[in-house]
Each structure stands twice: as structure tokens, then as C-alpha cells.
Structure 1
Amino acid sequence: MTDPAKGVWGDFAPIQFWEFYKTIAQNGGSILSPDKKTVTIDSPENIETLTWMIDKVNSYKVTPSDVEMAGQSSEDLFKAGKIAMLRTGIWLLGDFTENAKFNWDIALEPGKTSKAHHFFANGVAVSANSSHPAEAYQWIKFLTSSKAAVDLRIAAGWELPAISDAAAVQGYLDQPVPESREVVFEALDTAVVPPVIGNWNQLTDAVGKELEAAKLGQKTPEQALKDARTAIEGLL
């Protein structure tokens, strides 16, 4: 699928924190132990995974570098037929349906030792100091689970409402493009979430900094993850 001379690439996944924590899970890795007391980011599995992510650009040359992308977004390159397989989310389905002028579909991501997929969700909250808590609750209830809101979300194709009634989202599954919309629900069976700690923003910044250094060749993947471990240990 890759033809660099024509600017066509077989695969794209960004080298950054959000993609990293999911991809290491596909190889049996993690950033922290289950109890969040031990940093595991520099495990052999994670070093192997980060090396593979970078090698797709530098060695295998199936993923475009930042220079080769020339400021274009990965989704724009996909719509232009320049990227064959793109890792992204359901928020782009509507855009692709309207603007990708070729047949395309969605599938579960590949994984080395197991499947793993992102899970993103939006939360709605009411201030504890609200002067109208009852009214605010009714608004939240309408916004998140009323039939009107459910129908609007499904029609817009942006994000799925948090409801358990399968019949209510049938309209989503019935949309003809992409054909395999059921994959969205299948991905929930292998959903992974990031290791949230008190110093969350500092953790993502520290890991992101080291991933960028490895991506640019300033550090080896092993050294970058070792330095990330040291930084995270200082945050726990």
C-alpha cells in the first residue's frame, strides 16, 4: 500500500501519549502497575512497542514523518487517499462519510498480544454550590439521555449517548456508511483508559516530552522510557 514516491502511506498513528498508552496495552504493557504504586513504563514490552512505533516511520517507512506530512493533518491525508489505515475515533465518521470519495470502512485495531482500544467520554457535572441543583439535574438528564438529545447525537454522528437501550441507537447502526458500525461497540470489549493519578497533567507532559525526544532521535526508546520512569516516580 505504501508508495512514498506518490506520497501514499500504508499506516498512520501519532507518536504521543494518548496513542502510546493504548499501543503498549496491545503488547501487554502499561505505564503503572494495577495498584498505581509501581512505574512500569520502561518495561521490555514498552521499549519494544515504542521502537516499533518509531520504526514504522524511520525503518519500515510505512508511516509519513512530520516533514513528509508537510503540515497536513492525518485525516486530510486519509480523505485524499494518501493514508490507507488511520487510527482515529468515531468523531470523524461524519466527515469521512461526506468528504472521502472512495469506499472505506472501520475495523478493530491489530494488536500483538491482545486487542486494546481507546475509550473517550464526556462528563457533565453540577456545581456543589449551585443555587438550582434540581433544575440543573433535570437539564443534565435531558442533555444526556432524553429522546431528543439521543436522536440529535445519532443524527450528527459525533458521539454516542450514554444509554443502555439498544433500540435507541439502532438508527446509528442503520446508517449505511461505514458498513461495519457495529465495530464501535465491539471495541468497548477491549477498552483501555489512561492511568489517572493526582498529578495527571504533569504525568502526560513528562511522558509526552520523552516520546517526542525518541521520535526525533534525540534519545533511544529505552533511554526515553527510562527517563520517563524517573519523572513519573517523582510524581507518585
Structure 2
Amino acid sequence: MKKVLLSILAAASVCAGAFAVDEITLMNYAQPQEKAILDSVVARFEETHPGTKVKFISVTGDEYAAKIQAALAANQLPDVFYLGPESVRQYADNGKVLDLAPYIKNAKGVDFDDLYSSAVNAYRYDGKYLGQGDSIWALPKDFGPFAFAYNKTLFQKYGIPLPSKDTPYTWDEFISVCKKLTKDTNGDGMNDTFGTGLNVHWAFIQFVWGNGTDFLDETKTKVNITDPKFIEALQFWADMTNKYEVTPSATQAQSLDTYQRWLKGELGFFPAGPWDLSTFNKVLPFDYDLIPWPVHTSENETATYRGGVGWAVSATTKNPSKAAELALYLSADKEANEMFCDQDLQIPNLKSLASRYTSKPGNPQNRQEFINIIEKTGRSWPFDYTYNRVWYDNFYVGIQKVLDGKMTAEEYCKKIQPKLQRDLDKALARARQSARR
């Protein structure tokens, strides 16, 4: 009897082991269409990885940061979660995420080499420099190239030649066209259409880069805003409103923000990301297309930022191999990328699907501009290279005086530079302390 009981217990143990399930927790934020696609991707992952169960937690974008910070403080990060390039140094230096490079070569069912190298490089970090080394701390969920859109219908209405899809306007050319687009169409003494209307937090940096300079020097340790080229870019930005009057005034912007003016067809130029297209193509009452951002002179190179988030794996996961496989699957699964592409939720992460995206009918016709940004002209935000973005955010705290014409760009940059440098020095000191742990 004793032997029979032991045999039954042994058999039960074997059966239990055969049906043991490894659970991986996945956390993100997503809009409903995106969540539906990810549900199907997760289901296929479970089918192709027997014994693995994914607990998928999707929250709103507003909730995500607070929940991740709470999980980080409690040392209970989800197995797989979103991580932006700006957080790679902090998470890697503090041992919170896994280096995925050793796991990638063994992953099944996806082609790592089909991912855009520039997107993967945003998550490389060698312990000193972001974008360098063999270690990969996340895999791209998406990337967000920020292109420049123009209202093709308004150009045609005013008889203005359409811009080149390949050669950017110089600043002088841009202002000239903006003046032609800025009109009082009903004779009431107030302009009804404008050349453009840009948010300084999102669009000013393109004019800095378009003048051959940046917020930081090449070493990423010095705040560079007193560079004459930087000052020139900031003054040009303010002059668009105060001197050339090709943007809505501050008062006009309060009555109707520039995004709403773009949707109504009252602006000639406005930024556009891949995430905008599904909305634009439903609500815009005009045709639009994409072009490169303006540059100071023809000798300068156009540039814009390339954003996005990545799939990271917690360093405390109990199933590192499977969690890493899931991260790569979410990043590079071909069927999922096709669905994201077809619903205009994002640009496919896979190079092999670029033509599927660029050949889509309708607006914008020049979707290739997004691919150009990914492969050639896209850049990382300056704060991606520093331990935090306090120094960068503080640049904008008093910027309104310049925008209103109450202070020159030179006065402002020289006044604020020492404070920003102190903020950056503190960030760099924290980075060195973390690296020594």
C-alpha cells in the first residue's frame, strides 16, 4: 500500500511539472486599437511558447508613469514594460533592467536584424555613453519621427508653388512662403490664415539643429545655449511672431490653439507624427503632405527628433529568457507590425515592411519622409544623454519673455546658461555615482 501511494504521488508530481506554467507580467499603456492588436500578439506568443502565460496589464498614458514609479520604489517592476531612451542610463546604472543582448541570439520566430539599427541603438548603453556598446537595455516598441506637414489645399488656393519633398526651405524661403499664407480673408483687419503656429517645447529644437548647433556640446557635459548659432535660432523663432507676424499672436492662440487652427485648415505648416495620421485622415478638410524641416541656409542639414519607447525586461524577473523572448516578439513580430501599419498606428519596426507603409494610398503621399527621419535625419532628445532632464526643462521656464518680445534671445540665453549648467552638473554627478555602484 505504501509503495502504491508513493507511486501515485510521484506520478502526480510529474504531471504537475509537465503542466507547470511560467507567468510573465507585461505592462504598457495603449489606445484601444493598439491594445486589441497586442492582445492577439500575446495570444500567439503563448501558443508558440507552451508553458508560458502572459499577464497583460494595460493602463492609460496618464496612469503609467505613476504606476511604474511605484513599482520601481517597491522593487516590483513588471517582467516586461515600457522604457524610454531618456531613462536607459538611470535604469541600467541602478541594475533595474536586463541587458537583452545575450538573449536576442536565441530568440525564436522573429528576425532581430530586420529592426532598424537606429531604433535599436537608442537603447544601447556601454555604461558611459548612450547609443554605444554591445549592451541593449530595451527593444523598440515603436519610434516617433516628427515630420513637418503642410496644407496642400491652402497652397493651391493661394497659388503658391508646392514645396520640395527632398530639399528643405531655408529660413528666408520659409518666411517668404509663410507671409504669403498669412491673410485677412474677410477684410475685418484680423488675419484668418497663418503661415504656421508651433509649440516651442516640441518644435524649437528643429530650428536649433537646422542652424548647425545643439543644446549641449559634443561631450554632452556643457550647456551650449550661448553659442551664437543657438541664440540666432531662438531669436528667429521669436521673430516669426513679433517681427514677421506669420503666427497667431499670444491672444489669438488663447482663443483658439494652433492645433485646432491646423485641423480647421487655417495654418500652412504644422508638425505631424505617425500617431497623428489616423486622426488627420478622418477629420482634416484639406489635403496635406510631409516635407523636411527648414534650415538656416542651404549649407545646413535638416534634422528632427526621433522618439518612441522600448520594451525592457526587469532585472528581478524569474524568467529572464522568456521575458526577453517576449520583448523581442512584441518588437519584431511581423504580423503585429503589419497590423500596426495597416491601421496607421505606427510605422512598422521592420525594414522589410517599409514599402508597405510608404505605398499606402491617400494622405500624406510622402510617407517616405518618416523613413528618412528614422534612417538619416532623426536625432535623440538632448536629455536622453543626461541622467535627468531638469536642466533642459528649466530652459523653458522663463522663455515666454523672449516669445513676447520683452527680452532678446541673447539676453535670455546668457542669463539662464549658468543655472542650466549647474543643473546639468548635478545630473552628471548623479550619473557618476550610479555608475560606481
User: TM-score scaled to structure 1, two decimals?
Assistant: 0.89
CA contact (8 A) 1:173 1:181 kept: yes
Matched, 1:48 2:232: yes
- The 1:216/1:6 distance shift into structure 2, 3 A limit, reads closer
In 2, the alpha carbon distance for the partners of 1:55 and 1:217 equals: 8
Deviates more, 1:78-87 or 1:196-205: 196-205
1:21 to 205, 208, 213: 205
In 2, the alpha carbon distance for the partners of 1:209 and 1:103 equals: 36
Which residue identity lines up with residue 183 of structure 2 in the other structure? D
Deviates more, 1:42-51 or 1:155-164: 155-164
1:170 to 351, 355, 361: 355
In 1, the alpha carbon distance for the partners of 2:288 and 2:328 equals: 36
3-state SS, counterpart of residue 212 of structure 2: coil
1:200 to 388, 406, 414: 388
Residue 218 of structure 1 and its aligned partner are, at CA, apart by 4.6
In 2, the alpha carbon distance for the partners of 1:71 and 1:134 equals: 54
Matched, 1:149 2:336: yes
The correspondence of residues 78-227 of structure 1 with structure 2, limited to 5 A, is 78-112=262-296, 113-165=300-352, 168-176=353-361, 177-188=363-374, 189-196=376-383, 197-227=385-415
Residue 123 of structure 1 and its aligned partner are, at CA, apart by 1.2
In 1, the alpha carbon distance for the partners of 2:236 and 2:337 equals: 40
| Identical pairs, percent | 23
CA contact (8 A) 2:338 2:348 kept: no
1:103-156 per-residue CA deviation (whole Å, 9 max, x = no partner) reads 211111121122112211211101100122223223222221112210121022
Which residue identity lines up with residue 92 of structure 1 in the other structure? D
- The 1:66/1:136 distance shift into structure 2, 3 A limit, reads farther
Structure 1: segments with no counterpart, 5+ residues: none
What is aligned with 2:419? 231
1:6-59 per-residue CA deviation (whole Å, 9 max, x = no partner) reads 42111122222x423321110112111111233221111111111111111111
CA contact (8 A) 1:15 1:54 kept: no
3-state SS, counterpart of residue 312 of structure 2: coil
Residue 92 of structure 1 and its aligned partner are, at CA, apart by 1.0
CA contact (8 A) 2:207 2:294 kept: no
In 2, the alpha carbon distance for the partners of 1:125 and 1:55 equals: 43
CA contact (8 A) 2:334 2:350 kept: no
Residue 3 of structure 1 and its aligned partner are, at CA, apart by 1.6
1:136-191 per-residue CA deviation (whole Å, 9 max, x = no partner) reads 223222221112210121022132232232xx232211211211111111233122
In 2, the alpha carbon distance for the partners of 1:154 and 1:12 equals: 29
What is aligned with 2:260? 76
3-state SS, counterpart of residue 310 of structure 2: coil
RMSD in angstroms over aligned alpha carbons?
1.9
CA contact (8 A) 2:216 2:222 kept: yes
CA contact (8 A) 1:144 1:162 kept: yes
CA contact (8 A) 2:262 2:270 kept: yes
3-state SS, counterpart of residue 280 of structure 2: helix
1:63 to 241, 247, 251: 247
In 2, the alpha carbon distance for the partners of 1:211 and 1:92 equals: 27
Matched, 1:38 2:222: yes
What is aligned with 1:3? 183
In 2, the alpha carbon distance for the partners of 1:86 and 1:105 equals: 10
